[in-house]
Every structure is written in structure tokens, then in C-alpha cells.
A and B are shown apart, each in its own frame.
Chain A
Amino acid sequence: MVPSSEIPWGALLILLPLAAAILCFVWPKLAVVTGVVTMLLLTLAVGGFAWQLQREGLYQHAVGGWETPLGIGLYGDGLSLLMLAMTVLVGLAITLYARSYFNQKQARVFWPLWLLLLAALNALFLSADIFNLYITLEMVGLAAVALVALKGGRDALNGAMRYLLATLLGSLTYLLGVALLYHSYGTVDLVLLAERIDNSPVVWAALGLMGAGLLLKTALFPLHFWLPAAHASAPAPISALLSALLVKASFYIFLRLWLVLFAPLGGDVALLLGLLGAVAILWGSWQALRQTRLKLLVAYSTVAQIGYLFVAFPLAAAAGAMLWNGVSYLMLSHALAKAAMFLAAGNLLLFGGHDRIAELDRAVQRLPISTAAFALAGVSIMGVPPSGGFIGKWLLLEAAIEQGYWLLAAVMVVGGLLASAYIFKVVGYAFTRSTATPEPQSIPMGMEWAALLLAIASILLGFTAPWVFALLGIGDPFGGGAP
């Protein structure tokens, strides 16, 4: 037996799903089993990785034995760990859900794609090489597009196409920035770049290009145009992973680049990001409130919630690491809550055969677990205590008020109120009787519980912050010392 501290958990997080994807691809009959087992193993691996990080600190692995700048470096700190854990938590629920959701023909495509997507996400969160990140981004994007279109249908195909064009545009713009940085500093390694970077036109251009590309993928207002169509039209588990994980993946890269390379460049950029975030909160929430279809409502809610992540940028210079802790926490709780909401919305859609909000027709008693999941996740989205969303918003609001950014604070509060308005609009209709009652479809238990467990987790996050922050501090991802 190899002692578990010597097991290379980090690399396994990438290799395991890759190998499993190949297996599923070659022998589709084994797909479901392979998928489920791999997901469990990945959970174990993230646990092992966390344990390793806690014992040994920063994870660095020179792939191929070639040190940077020649080789590619894997890099894992507290922030990577958080993202990996988020992926695994959401992934477990999606795996549980998808087991019953897809028919045999769809499953044959779903499982290898899903495993490849997991591998790509894990690779993304563990990479410190901006060109390698480009490849992982493309993997993530293409896998997502294929998944959105998996069940066909006009809306989904249109959504997938729009998403594909946006994601390709984003990647290429990002790559152009990578090219400039490489030719300026002779490396694509983030750690080395951080040492070599100075204030030159190249850095500004790279910030503009990479930033624009990543923000397009993150769907920050006004680059969100592709998101509602894609997120709302995809099959439910895919919607969940798009909103929960994919926008976070590109945000994660943006955050990394910002922290390491671009933060010194300027408060003005940060202020601009903050303002865009604020507009995103208001616009997204308002649009969500106006929707008559459940999945579109949830999708617009994602546009709004992404805004919260960016509101933090102008506050960061003065607030320090604790604010980024808050942002990370918000990311995590949004991931869990939003995945829960999409899964629940998927159940409601399947149950009634439609997702018209005004005709939810007593879903509270007819489909109580899913409705409860939706409402509980909604609590976290609103930022009402006790929930993960509350912790994140508390830290953001605290920083905004402390530094006198009253406008941002007001927007955050108004966003919370609008969120409660659109969520309770749904819940309200779920209590009342509507005229047309089509024959309900039965929903497998696994699909209901997948949603509820995620929602409960997003609430429980309200009580785990000190513990999570301690893990986040590993490797000091936000500078300024561990909290």
C-alpha cells in the first residue's frame, strides 16, 4: 500500500475521468456504472487532495518533469480546492440526477461527455499555465455545447449554437491575449508571469483581450446575451452544470489572472467591473422577475448572481483577503443553490409537462421535495440567513458599507429584494391551484433528492464559513496572509 499522503490526488483528479470517459466511449454499456463509480472516486480524490493540501500546503507538480517555463505546471491552492470541491458536490448531484434522466441513446453520449467535462474542469482548476487553460476552456466549452444540444429541440439547438459561437469567440480573444503575454514575457506560466510582469501596453492589451474573452464566457452584463437561451433550453442537469460550474470556471480564470497579473493595473478597471456587476444584478433580477417560464427565470437569476461576483472588484483593494473569501463563498453557494434550482425546475417541467410559472398548480403538495428544493435554494440565492449566500453577501456588504460604496451596497440589497420577489413569485404559484391540470408524470426519487440535497447543502453552508475559509487560505491565493 502506498501511504495515502503519497497518492498523487491532484493528477488523479484529471486522469481518472479521462480514462473513464474513454472507457464509456468504447463500451457504452458500461457508461452509467463507470460514470457513477468515477464520480465517487473523484469525491474521494478531492477529499484526499484537501487532506494533502492541509498537510503539505501548496500543490505544485511539474508535468513531464519539465520545470516552468519550458513545461506545464499544475498548481493547487485553497481556491483551486474550493473549485474542485464545488465541482464534485454539484457533480455528485448531477450524476445522481442524470442516472434516471437520460434514455439509453442519450446516455451513450452523455456519460463520456460529462466525464470529459469533469476532467476538463478539474484540469482547469489545477492549471497555472495560461495556454493550457485555453485548451481546458475549449474542452469545457465544446463539451457544454454538445450537452446543451443533446436532447435536440429547436430552443436547445438555437441555444447551443449561440453558446458555441460565444464560447469560441471568447476562447480566441483569450488566446490572442495569451499570445501577447507570451511574446512579451517569454512564458505562459502564471507564477513566472507574476514575477516578470510590469506596467506596459502589452499588459493592458492582454487584460483587455483575456478579460473580454473570459467575461464573455462568464456572461457578465452586457456580454450575457447568449446565456439565458442556452441555460434555459438545455436538459435540466445540463442547465444545472452550466449555471453552477461553467460560468464559474471562466470566472475562476479571470479572478486568478486578476489577482496575479492585473490587480495592480488599476482601480478604474475594477470600478468598471463593479459597475457592470451592479447593472447585471439589477438587469438580471428585473428580467428574471418578468419571465413567465421557470427555466428562463432561473437563467436570468444567474445573470444577476454573476453580477455579485464582480461587485467585489472595486472593494478588493482596501478590503483584502476576507472579501475574496466572501466572493469564493458566494461562488460556492450559488453553484449549489443554482444547480438545485435547475434540477428542481427540471422536475417541475417533467412533472407537469411545461414550465409556465402561473400554472405550477399546487406543486407544493403534488411535488413537495422538488418545490422544497427550489425554495430552499432560493433562500440562499436571496442571501437570507442562514445560508451560504447570506455569508457571502454579508462580507460583500460589509466591505461596501465600510468603504462608503453606498451605491454598490444599495444595489446588492435591492438585488436581494428582487431575488426574493422572483423566487416567491414561483413559490406563490406553487401553492395555488390553476385551471388546467394535465396528467402529471412521475419523477424518479433520485432526481428529486438530487435537487433537495444540493439545496440543503447550500443552506448548511451558512454554518461552515470559518472552516472553509481556513482551507481557502492554503497557499495564500488572495495575498495579504491567510485569514
Chain B
Amino acid sequence: MEKVTLLIMLFDLLLGLGLLWLAWQLLESRNLFKAVVLFVAFGLLMALAWVRLDAPDVALAEAAIGAGLTGALLMAALAKLPSRDKSEPLADEKGHWLLRLALLLVAAGLGYVVHSLPESAPGLSAEIANNLASSGVNNPVTAVLLNFRGYDTLLELMVLMLALLGVWSLGIERSTREEPVGPVLTTLVQFLTPLLILVAAYLLWAGADAPGGAFQAGAVLAAAMVLLLLAGWPLQGLLTGVALRLMLVAGPATFVALAGLTLLDAQLLAYPPQHAGKLILLLEVAATLSIAVTLAALFLGYRPRTNKEPG
């Protein structure tokens, strides 16, 4: 027992140091491409940390969104930068010792503060446990996300929509690269896409009771779409106009509609307990769809248009 604890502690220590080291490496890397690759690795290591901290839901979200999608976004953006930009020399850092000292002091102070926190704090576990039964789901994280603090999630979906609006207004359509897609990628995509869709469906379904849920499922589904885009599938031509926009707003719209209906009844987002499970599932399905399409659209980086639409 002793040995196992020691080993685990050693592992934690290494993982922590690894995270810090990777972060330093990626931020100070001369080569931006390397920095992005390191960032993806950093994300995966973070996911490992989440697992160690008994946060499998977060681990899934991190792996899919934090490492996967963010990595893809970074890569895509990097490709659009002028080439001489990609390995800029770092700023002259001789003059920054004062800043370093200040930040070190801040970090030390924060460390002291964290250290001063009590060893054990109940948080809201007890309240969650007491109310989980009437929440409609068994996974406490899902219960918090979609019921106890569902209002946060409603606004969060709006943040996604906002970002997409911003990207659409700023993004510039590029002619799709004509480079032929290698057979490996094609095969990989053909194999991976159905698998990812299955995983997404599983995550969505399982979210009620086990780690998973709309965000993770949406992210995985988005990953599938990103792969298809990379493999040259013209998704942006297939899904446009009102149909696309309806899919994008499915989650937020369902949420807002539900909020409106519950408000008519008595209270904002107060689900009747007997229907809570079904309502949450409905929300999750709609949200998964929207999240997936939104994330994929963010990756695409511009507003897909039908041929009829003006530029």
C-alpha cells in the first residue's frame, strides 16, 4: 500500500513537472509549428491530469476540445500566416527580470494562499447528492451542467454562437487546396469517421449516468467532421444556408424555448422532476448537434455559402 501511494505520488509529481516543462517549451519555442504540436501534447497530458484528479468528464472534454480541436484550429491558423512569420525570433528577454520577479512573487503568494486552504472542504457535494435523484440524471457533472446550473450552459452555448458569428464576419474564404489527399488519410478517415460517430453517440447516451455528455459528444462529432474536411469532403458545400443555421442554433434554441416554457410555468429552467430526464436528453441531443456543427464551422473559418448567395 505504502509503495503504491509513493509511486502514485511520484507519478503526480512527474506529471506536474511535465506539464510545467511542456508549457515552458511550447511558449518559448522558436518554431511556431513545434509550439502548436507541443500544445497538443500538453493538452493530452492535461487530460491525464484530469483522470488523476477523478475528473473523467473533464478529461474527455479536454482531449476532444482542448487538445484535439484547439490543436486543429491552431494548425489551420498557422497555415494561413505568412510563412516568414512562422519561426520568428523570440523577443529580447534581458529586460524582463523585473517582470519575472513580480510574477514569481505573485505565484508564491498564490501558492501560499492555496496552501492555507483547509485540507478538506465539502464544496457542494452534499447538496448535489441530496438533489441528484430529482435532477433526472445520475452523472453529477451532467446534473450540474444541464440542471442545477443549466443557465450557465445556456449562456455558454451562446458564447459558441457569438464566436462563430465573429469568425464568419472576419474569416476569409480560401480556395480549397487542390493538393491530392493521400490514400492513407482517406482510408483513415473512412475508418475513423463511423467510429467517431459511434463514440459520440455513446458519449451522448452515457452522459446521463457515466462520464460523457453533450460537450464531449459534440466535440467528437466535430472531430469527425474536421477529419472529413481535411480529407477533402466538401462539407461546406453540402451544408449551407438556413439548414446549416438551423443546425447551429438547435441547441441554443431548444434551450431558450425550454427556458421560456418553464418561465411561463413558474421559474426559469425549472423542469418538472418527472420529465427532467427526458428534457435533459432532448437538450443534450440538440446541444450535441449544435456544438458539433459549430466547432466544425469554427474550424472551417468562414461562412459557407450556396452558389446562389452573394459574396
Contact = CB atoms under 8 A, between A and B. Distances in A.
Contact of B161 (A62, A116, A180, A187): A116
Interface string A95-131: 0000000000010010011001001100100000001
B148 to A, nearest CB: 5
Contacts of A74: 268
Interface string B111-124: 01110110001111
A15 B249 contact: no
A305 B13 CA distance: 49
A112 B249 CA distance: 12
A11 interface: yes
A483 interface: no
Interface stretch (A44-52, A140-148, A251-259, A338-346): A140-148
B123 A15 contact: no
Contacts of A183: 117, 121, 123
A120 B155 contact: yes
B267 A65 contact: yes
Contacts of A119: 158
B139 to A, nearest CB: 16
Interface stretch (B34-42, B70-78, B165-173, B174-182): B165-173
Interface in A285-336: none
B113 A142 contact: no
B151 A64 contact: yes
B109 A22 contact: no
Contacts, number: 150
A112 B154 CA distance: 16
A112 B124 contact: no
Contacts of B149: 64, 71-72, 131-132
Interface string B125-156: 00110010000000000000001111110111
A150 B169 contact: yes
B117 A184 contact: yes
Given A72-B149, A120-B155, A150-B169, A63 B269 contact: yes
A18 interface: yes
A138 interface: yes
B110 interface: yes
A201 B112 contact: yes
Interface string B175-211: 0000000000000000000000000000000000000
Dominant SS among interface residues on chain A = helix
Contacts of A149: 166, 169-170
A66 B131 contact: yes
Contacts of A15: 256, 259-260, 263, 268
A202 interface: yes
Contacts of A106: 169
A138 B152 CA distance: 12
Contact of B163 (A142, A186, A201): A142
Contacts of A184: 117, 121
B270 interface: yes
Contact of A18 (B110, B113, B127, B158): B158
Contacts of A131: 149, 152
A139 interface: yes
The interface size bin for chain B is 35 or more
Interface in A25-72: 25-27, 61-66, 69-72
A135 interface: yes
Given A22-B256, A205-B109, A64 B158 contact: no
B155 A123 contact: yes
Contacts of B150: 63-64
A113 B259 contact: no
A23 B151 CA distance: 20
A435 interface: no
Contacts of B131: 66, 70
B168 A66 contact: no
A99 B293 CA distance: 31
A63 B267 contact: yes
Contacts of B122: 186
A69 B127 CA distance: 8
Given A18-B252, A64-B267, A66-B131, A186 B124 contact: yes
B133 to A, nearest CB: 13
A250 interface: no
A442 interface: no
Contact of B165 (A72, A146, A186): A146
Interface string A376-406: 0000000000000000000000000000000
A19 interface: yes
Contacts of A116: 158, 161-162, 165
B274 to A, nearest CB: 14
Contact of A25 (B147, B154, B165, B257): B165
A201 B161 CA distance: 38
B156 A135 contact: yes
A201 B170 contact: no
Nearest to B125: A186
Contacts of A71: 148-149
Nearest to A19: B256
Interface string B260-280: 100100111111000000000
Given A64-B269, A176-B110, 18 more contacts: A19-B256, A19-B257, A19-B260, A21-B161, A63-B150, A63-B269, A64-B149, A65-B267, A71-B148, A71-B149, A120-B158, A131-B152, A132-B149, A135-B159, A145-B166, A146-B162, A149-B169, A184-B121
Top 3 nearest A-B pairs by Cβ distance?
A: A146-B166, A65-B270, A109-B169
Interface of A: 8, 11-12, 15, 18-19, 21-22, 25-27, 61-66, 69-72, 74, 106, 109, 112-113, 116, 119-120, 123, 131-132, 135-136, 138-139, 142-143, 145-146, 149-150, 152, 176, 180, 182-184, 186-187, 200-202, 204-205
30 contacts: A12-B263, A21-B161, A22-B253, A22-B256, A25-B161, A25-B249, A26-B245, A63-B267, A63-B268, A64-B147, A64-B148, A64-B151, A64-B268, A65-B270, A69-B124, A70-B127, A72-B151, A113-B165, A116-B161, A123-B155, A131-B152, A143-B162, A146-B163, A149-B170, A152-B170, A183-B117, A183-B123, A204-B113, A205-B109, A205-B113
